[in-house]
Structure 1
Amino acid sequence: MITLAQGTILSNEKLCELFLCSPQGGMRKSNRTNTLVLITNHINSIYNDIWKDDILYYTGMGQLGDQSLESAQNKTLANIEKNGVKVHYFEVLKKNEYTYIGEMLKASEPYTARQLDAEKQWRQVYIFPLRLKAGGLPNEVINHYENERVTSLKRLSDKKLLAKIQQQNDEAKHTKTSKMTVKVPRYRRSMELAEYVKRQAKGHCDLCEQAAPFTNKEHQPYLECHHIIWLSQNGADTLDNIVALCPNCHRKMHIVQDENDIKRLINIAYQRMQELDHKS
């Protein structure tokens, strides 16, 4: 039986040694350990695996054309409650660093969706809703995970970041803001959106228009993302509801909530959304 602490980071070589699986692919079946290793690669992947609330929606195997539920590891994953295969999930945020998220169970039956394949052609894929066997992740694991994701996003070009934003924006039209359970529930925010909005602000607060009061450890202007309609009030985590503020204005928006300030920020966020639509 294979046991790993959540947040453990393995190299690809160590992962293969432990699970006795193939060194390639995002779905790696091992008959010798009776396991299926699932991997989401945030650095380079055509798949769109996303968390909504505490459910991971994992895209099946097959990079070209329509996917089949009867082939390879798609069939394995669809029948884990019957075949006894243990599913272990990793995410890649840095090259050759596989962060262990945990053992997964089926949350509901797989369903079909439309996604682009490796040749940018629309095709049918299978989405597998999965949940963590252990429930929510420890808070320290989430903090480390999110810090690493922020770092990886800063390495993206504007073009790649914009592509992620456009894809998330399309999905957000059909979904509600989600939460993940850690030690206490908290709202999940798009790190891609946060990075994009800060870049668009160009180092200045969207409200007071002053330069950021200081720089962070990476020598970048320090601004904070603010949801104009708060997530706790059912606001959307979308480009037309997010602005970049200096810490002082951010605090002001949460305490004063001046109507004129709100209207001004709505206009700024809306203009950014219009610009994004124009680019797409």
Structure 2
Amino acid sequence: MEISNVPQKPNFVVGERYLRKELHNQFKGQRQYGISTPSSESFIFIFTDPDSEEHGYSDRFLDNGLFVYSGEGRLGDMTLDGGNERILKHKENGDSLLVFEKVGEQNGADVVTYDGEYEYVDHYWERAPDDNDEMRDAVRFKLEPQGGLETSLDESEVGTLSDDELFKRAKQSAPGKSVTTTTSTRTPYTRSDLVRDFALRMADGICQACSEEAPFVSQKGEPYLEVHHLYRVSDGGVDDPENVIAICPNCHREVHHGRNGDDLNERLIETAEKRNERLRSVSPRS
């Protein structure tokens, strides 16, 4: 597993992996908390592990790019103070929310990948167990990528883009990058829509894992393939065109649950890297 060096300043790269302990060595902050607040910095680290539901937490990335994040507090009702208050008031305090997701361990240290900068948009309460299996009120924060969920494109415009232009626009829409939106009567594309359409366009109806045609045609009359995130432990996280590829449902299940799933994912990464290199040569990163 390739690990990146922690930068001297918080200029993290979406999709790159870091050792959590090295993040704290560089920027301080609470080492054991999901919400870590380095005292001398104007940002907040948010750590998540969507594969874990310990302590009544239930973090999840939604298909539209929204991130639902559980507040802190292991016993009794959660309250809107401490780290929870820091999330709630991060804009008025001038703090950025930097989201990292656990993807593994190395020599006992957590390996996390950077998901990008997010912003608080709302929160709600739901009943969930605490560490003593006692039901309590738990807060869930709704966070969205900085710059919002929508792009300035609509469906008809996306269809007119060339492959390299679609790649470029999808890169520009990745989490942590601002996207200008306009108010109109059009139905805008979300960032996730744009990245999904890129992956499907590149596959052109052929599974990128088994090289077979899509197993059936969708209700929209299009070959049905699913978008797989190459460096994710869950199916709905950071949307970056370099991190996605379209495969059939059977291969998608195999890569996540099959005995040889890791090997298959490595082959998909190689396939995507060749595709990305070709497109980068036409559309350099902005």
Give the aligned partner of residue 252 of structure 1.
Answer: none
After TM superposition, give the deviation of residue 105 of structure 1 in Å.
0.9
Give matches, 1:1-280, under 5 Å. 2-42=10-50, 44=52, 45-46=54-55, 47-52=57-62, 53-69=64-80, 71-95=81-105, 96-106=110-120, 108-133=121-146, 137=174, 143-146=229-232, 148-149=233-234, 182-183=240-241, 194=253, 216=260
Deviation, structure 1 residue 179: 9.6
Cα shift at 1:32: 0.7
SS of 1:126's equivalent in the other structure is: strand
How far 1:4 sits from its partner (Å)?
0.5
Give the deviation of 1:6 after TM superposition.
0.4
TM-score (structure 2 length as normaliser): 0.50
1:15 and 1:179 map into 2 onto residues whose CA distance is: 21
Indicate how the Cα distance of structure 1 residues 217 and 59 shifts in structure 2: closer, same or farther if over 3 A, else same: closer
User: In the aligned structure 2, how far is the partner of 1:217 from the partner of 1:35?
Assistant: 36
Q: 1:43·1:93 contact (CA, 8 Å) conserved in 2?
A: no
Evaluate the alpha carbon distance shift between residue 216 and residue 122 of structure 1 in structure 2; reply closer, same or farther with a 3 A threshold.
same
> Which structure 1 residue ranges, 5 or more long, are not aligned?
151-177, 188-192, 200-214, 221-280
Cα deviation for residue 82 of structure 1 reads 0.5
Contact 1:20 1:33 in 2 (8 A): no
Contact persistence 1:43–1:94 (CA under 8 A): no
Distance 1:194 1:65 in 2: 38
SS at match of 1:110: strand
* Matched position secondary structure for 1:13: helix
Corresponding residue of 1:226: none
Q: Deviations over 1:34-62 (max 9, x none)?
A: 22111112465331001122110111010
- Report the secondary structure of 1:17's partner residue: helix
Q: For each residue in 1:99-155, what CA deviation from the matched residue of structure 2 results, as whole angstroms up to 9, or x when unmatched? A: 11111112x222211112122221101111101116654879x73323x459xxxxx
Deviations 1:198-246 (A, max 9, x none): 68xxxxxxxxxxxxxxx846699xxxxxxxxxxxxxxxxxxxxxxxxxx
Q: Identity across aligned pairs (percent)?
A: 20
Alignment check: 8 A CA contact 2:115 2:238 kept: no
Q: Deviations 1:70-100 (Å, cap 9, x if unpaired)?
A: x201111101110111111011021210111
**As a proportion of its length, which structure holds more helix?**
1
Q: State the match for 1:228 in structure 2.
A: none
Query: Which one-letter code corresponds to 1:72 in the other structure?
Result: G
Question: Unpaired segments of 5 or more residues in structure 2?
Answer: 1-8, 150-172, 176-194, 200-227, 247-251, 265-286
CA distance in 2, matches of 1:49, 1:84: 24
Amino acid at match of 2:118: M
C-alpha RMSD over aligned residues = 3.9
Q: Residues 34 and 46 of structure 2 are in contact (CA less than 8 Å); yes or no, is this contact kept in structure 1? A: yes
Question: Normalising by the residue count of structure 1, what TM-score does the alignment of the two structures yield?
Answer: 0.51
CA distance in 2 between partners of 1:180 and 1:218 (Å): 19
**Residues 218 and 17 from structure 1, CA distance in 2 versus in 1: closer, same or farther, beyond 3 angstroms?**
closer
Aligned residues: 171
